[in-house]
Amino acid sequence: DIQMTQSPSTLSASVGDRVTITCRASQSISSWLAWYQQKPGKAPNLLIYKASSLQSGVPSRFSGSGSGTEFTLTISSLQPDDFATYYCQQYDSYPRTFGQGTSLGIK
């Protein structure tokens, strides 16, 4: 199985900050990576697919980059609605695997 490791696990930031979350795969997954946002009690929401493609309806302050084994999710200017947990997911092979999550809280 491909292991996905996110860092950091928790992050505190302020509105307006630029934030970066890293996701590393245990083997190359090309660009087959997605990022999801999840708020408490809600289903995950797709933000980025194929490592850097913005899902329709997602604000442009979200961006993704990377390929192979190292990927990043960047939020250019944090908004109050962005405080949530973020997960990366590989879809290069089965079983599909997720990172452990990054909880983004208010500083």
- Site residues (vs another protein, CB under 8 A): 32, 34, 36, 38, 42-46, 49-50, 55, 87, 89, 91, 94-101
CB of 101 to another protein, least distance (A): 5
CB of 67 to another protein, least distance (A): 15
The number of CA neighbours under 13 Å toward the Cβ of 11 is 25
* CA distance from start to end of the chain: 36
10 or 77: whose CB is closer to another protein?
10
68 or 101: whose CB is closer to another protein?
101
44 or 68: whose CB is closer to another protein?
44
17 or 98: whose CB is closer to another protein?
98
Q: Is 5 helix (H, G, I), strand (E, B) or coil?
A: strand
CB of 38 to another protein, least distance (A): 8
Q: Pick from 2, 36, 31: which is nearest to 21 by CA? A: 36
CB of 13 to another protein, least distance (A): 21
CA distance 106 to 103: 10
